[in-house]
Amino acid sequence: MPWQELSRPSLSIGVLRGVCADEDLPVPRTYHGGLRFAEFLLERSDGALTPYEYTAVAESGFMHVLGDWVFAGALYGTDFGYEEMRRYAARKRLHFRTVMVMREHANEFVDLVVDELVAHDPELVGFTTTFMQNVPSLAVAKRLKERRPDITMLFGGGNCDGPMGVALHREFGFVDLVLRGEADETFPLLLRSYGAETALAEIPGLCWRADGEQRVNPLPRLVPPAKLTRPDFDDWFEAFEASRIGRYLEPELAVESARGCWWGEHHHCTFCGLNGSAMAFRAKPPEAFVAELDHLVRRHRVLDVTVVDNILEPTYLRTALPEMAGRDWDLRLHYEVKANLSTAQVGTLAAAGVYSVQPGIESLVDDVLDRMDKGVRAVHNVRTMRDCESAGLTVSWNWLYGFPGEQEKDYATVLAELSRLVHLQPPDGVSRIGMNRFSPHFEDPSLGFPSRSPAEPYRYVYDLTAEQLDDLVYLFDTPSAGLSDEEVEPLRAAVDVWRRAYPESSLRRLDADEAVVLRDRRAGWPRADYVLETALERHAWKLLEYGGTMTGMLRKLDDAGMAWDADALSRWLGELHERGLVFTANGRWVALATTTVLLDAPGREDAPGREGAFVRPDTRTLRIRPAHRGRSVRDGVPASQATPSGPG
Amino acid sequence: MRVAEPGQRAAGEAWPETLTLGPDELASRHGHVGLAIARSQRLKVSVPLRLGTDPSRDLAALRFLTEVAVQMADLTWTLSGAPPWPVRTLVHLPPPGDGADPIAQRYAAQWRREHRYGLCTYRVGPGFVRIRDVRPGGPHLRVVVDGPWADVFGFLVTEDAEVIDGPGRQLQDELVAAGLAVAVGTVTHVLPCRLRRWPIPYTAAV
């Protein structure tokens, strides 16, 4: 259901199709409600509500549950939550007009979905729900149940993890079954035993009813790595290619190489609630993942791949990724990584086609990184940013603040450093942390958030009390901690300057004969070439590229037979710092010049943001391949129509 | 550490900011472009380039511009006269900074105005090639070159694709008909640039 991303299939549905095939069960018929809603909006709005508008809500509406609100009227009645959310949106200065218009279409859409589902005469309809898919799914399930009480309504997915699934089953009587936890093993079990009440008691993670009473089975085991199944996306690609939406978007693949978080198993980042009840890290055998990717790329002729893992399995840097690099395909993959990668490892990512990463940088303040139990220091983050810039990797990151106990003075020290970083990719924004279910901040009030309540906008999408919402929802309101809104203004201003300066800034290292040249072309700094001519300077610069303390540098220089007087090294570092060539925090230093030259895309300051992923709706798709008896086959349009039409 | 302010370097220093190429050097494009990238240099063509008078020079210029685009190098060059193709044909390649005459200036201005990275690219996958053409002023195309023709495509973009027979000729004709290749003398030049390096943000090329 909405708000699944339009350009890629639901991995959950793909995996469930895959496990059914593996278990010799009939592969369930699927319904891609997100694609269908985007089509419906396009049609009903005469082209005004395009996939761009849909995507804007899908990507940015979650913190205010706007996508759920679009369907709240369809679930509870036209006026439910309408005025309240309108006032809330005005107070929060949200772009609200689009979702208001979408809401006008939601009721009719739900009827359409129910009609289309009933036409298949199903016995059981399963909804996989994550983030803002709850209310649209509930609206359809409720109306479907009213129309056909004999159809069993099953819910599963991230929104059903832990107590949320129990609450959803408890509060919505038309939901017959909720399957909590990873369903790779339990979904086939449910299908096999469907209808037999005694068997339902044996299905781990299932919420069901007997004699009108809710029964909650214990959570299932986490699926072991060797049992993580290859998804089957055939149905989605068929639907996408047949859809008008396919004309707006380039299709992508969504795959997983691992579940859980190896860092979070031991040091759970205090604000992160992403892994729910499944933190244990499990990676597919590398050869299995590469084979899966190979299969999906060949089958669907798609080279853009989002790997949904919460963190890259480190051994893949020695196994799967070099294997992929060796194939010389022009892949573009997205991965989430930890910001402790070496320069060589970043190079491995790029060689394998990983051109988009989310390294979880979060902050450049050591004290704050400690408070979030991030396991990296600011110099590590800066080194990762530098190396990603060198390798041409797009880095997604947000600067998070609002951690209990953080101090303005610690930010002030780092703010003074930020002008040195303008050639590296700036944060997408500066955001106060939210409280998410499953995070340490949620689980342990002693970490600084002693009180909480379900996030305000949930009141405008669910007709439930705060007590009922408490177990159902994912986002919570808390009194603010850490920096005040006023105290964070200097950071916002510095980030604004950074974002403006980045497109026109570079600081590059080039190796000339007997010298290292640091070519500085950053905004706000003198245009200059700095020349490191002595072997001692060059070696010290090499050490700075890795990063470390002055004491460590002195020791390593000494080990290399290049002893340097501490005062002289200090003066040299001071000069580098004065010229903005190094970043320092808490006695650690790191060099800032990018090492592999990445020449910027012309006009990158004008580069589109997410809308860049959209193509014109009149885009034509051709498939050219040799045909039998000497004639070519061109699926799509005749050659005459595909010919460019005159001068540009 | 010595500070060398731009423009105040000693003569003979090994790291000039610009690598200037004569028109005869464009044919050995791979070496020059790679060298410039390794040295963090801008590329500059020393004289205005005129397209449409000599097929071999045209081909050298087109391939040079294509290589610059693939490597995402930084190039400054000047156009002379009007090329024998509409701007749309060339708009995905690095545009001239200026024109040497009024006709060239108008052509160059439109080229600069409409250019952005990634307008006409191809990517290689296992057994297929995906071409994406979103150059302004014509139909937007997504083309999948499939099966044995994927190998033929690989040949066409890497070899001197003189008129050839068999499937290569057939594919050439298809590409020309779709506006994805142009005839330069007896040679067919495939226009899309291979997308091997991505700009930052990568969304600039999708």
Q: Write out pLDDT tens, residues A552-578.
A: 999 999 999 998 999 999 999 999 999
Q: Cα distance from B12 to chain A (closest Cα, Å)?
A: 12
β-strand A282-283 against A304-307: which pairing, if any? Answer: unpaired
Contacts with B145 from chain A: Cβ below 8 Å: 624-625
Q: Does A578 touch chain B (CB under 8 A)?
A: no
Amino acid residing at A58: A
Give the pLDDT confidence score for residue B186 in this predicted structure.
84
In the predicted model, is pLDDT for residue A599 greater than 60? no
Instruction: Check: CB of residue A330 under 8 Å from CB of residue B196.
Output: yes
Complex ipTM value:
0.91
Mutate to test the interface with A, among B70, B87, B165, B203 (most CBs of A within 10 A): B203
Confidence of residue A514 (pLDDT cuts 50, 70, 90): confident
Closest CA to B139 of A247, A51, A626, A610: A247
Report pLDDT for A258. Answer: 96
The reply to whether omega before A3 is within 30° of 0 (cis) is yes
Q: Are A293 and A235 in contact (CB under 8 A)?
A: no
- Our separate counts of H helices and E strands in chain A read 24, 25
pLDDT in tens, B4-17: 766 555 444 556 78
> Contact A609/B203, CB-based, under 8 Å?
yes
Candidates B19, B40, B90, B114: best to mutate against A (most CBs of A within 10 A) is B40
Whether residue A612 lies within 8 A of chain B, CB to CB, comes out as yes
User: pLDDT category, A612, cuts 50, 70, 90?
Assistant: very low
**pLDDT grade, residue A610 (50/70/90)?**
very low
The answer on pLDDT for A355 being more than 50 is yes
- What digits encode the pLDDT tens for the residues B44-99? 999 999 999 999 999 999 999 999 999 999 999 999 999 999 999 999 999 999 99
Tokens, residue A76: 């509870």
**Chain A hits for B39, Cβ within 8 Å:** 510, 512, 597
For chain B, give the number of residues: 206
Q: What is the pLDDT of residue B13?
A: 57
Question: pLDDT value at position A644?
Answer: 29
Mean pLDDT to the nearest integer, A451-465:
98
From B203, which residue of chain A is nearest by alpha-carbon distance? Answer: A612
Cis peptide before B201 (omega within 30 of 0): yes
Distance from CA of B21 to the nearest CA of A (A): 18
What pLDDT shows up at residue B148?
86
Residue of A nearest to B17 (CA): A519
Residue contact A621–B149, C-beta within 8 A: no
Distance (Å, rounded) from C-alpha A193 to C-alpha A505?
63
> CA-CA distance, B78 to A37, in Å (whole number)?
50
- Rounded distance, CA A258 to CA A308, Å? 8
pLDDT for A631 beyond 70: no
Contact A440, A71 (CB under 8 A): no
Dump pLDDT digits (tens) for A211-229.
999 999 999 999 999 899 9
- Whether A427 and A398 have beta carbons less than 8 Å apart is answered as yes
The residues pairing with B50 across neighbouring beta strands, listed in sequence order, are B80
- Distance (Å, whole) CA A303 – CA A98: 32
**CA–CA distances in Å: residue A356 to residues A70, A337, A592:** 31, 10, 21
Rounded mean pLDDT, A191-202: 82
Name the residue in chain A with its Cα closest to that of B126: A298
Candidate from B86, B116, B139 with C-beta closest to A648:
B86
Instruction: Give every strand in the sheet of A253-255, ordered side by side.
Output: A253-255, A304-307, A332-336, A354-358, A394-395
Q: B174 touching A, CB under 8 A?
A: yes
CA–CA separation, B120 and B194 (whole Å): 9
Provide the number of CB pairs (under 8 Å) joining chain A to chain B: 246
How far B25 CA lies from chain A's nearest CA (Å)? Answer: 21
Averaged pLDDT of chain A? 91
Between positions 113 and 172 of B, the ones with CB within 8 A of A are 114-118, 123-128, 130, 132, 134-149, 167, 170-171
Q: What does the pLDDT read at residue B34?
A: 82
Q: What is the pLDDT of residue A607?
A: 35
Q: In what order do the strands lie in the sheet with B42-45?
A: B18-21, B42-45, B75-76
Query: Does residue A643 sit at the B interface (CB-CB below 8 Å)?
Result: yes
Supply A317's token pair: 């840097």
- Mean pLDDT value across residues A387-394: 95
B199 CB neighbours in chain A (<8 A) are 392, 600-601, 604, 607
Mean pLDDT of A16-31: 95
Q: What percentage of residues in chain A have a pLDDT greater than 70?
A: 91
pLDDT in tens, A98-144: 999 999 999 999 999 999 999 999 999 999 999 999 999 999 999 99
What share of residues in chain A are helix, strand, coil (percent, to 5)? 45, 15, 40
pLDDT of A330 reads 96
Taking the complete model, does pTM exceed 0.95, yes or no? Answer: no
pLDDT in tens, B157-198: 876 566 566 767 888 889 999 999 999 988 889 999 999 889
The pLDDT of residue B161: 60
Q: Are strands A632-635 and A620-626 parallel, antiparallel or unpaired?
A: antiparallel
**pLDDT bracket for residue A608 (50, 70, 90):** very low
Give the three-state DSSP class for A409.
Answer: helix
* Cα A133–chain centre separation: 16
What is the structure's pLDDT at A637?
34
Q: Is the pLDDT of residue A3 over 80?
A: yes
Confidence of residue A196 (pLDDT cuts 50, 70, 90): confident
The widest CA-to-CA distance across chain A, in whole angstroms, is: 84
CB contact at 8 A, A297 and B126: yes
Tell me the chain B residues in contact with residue A394 when contact means C-beta distances shorter than 8 Å.
Answer: 198, 200-203
- Read off the DSSP letter of residue A249: B
Among B6, B11, B31, B10, CA closest to B21: B31
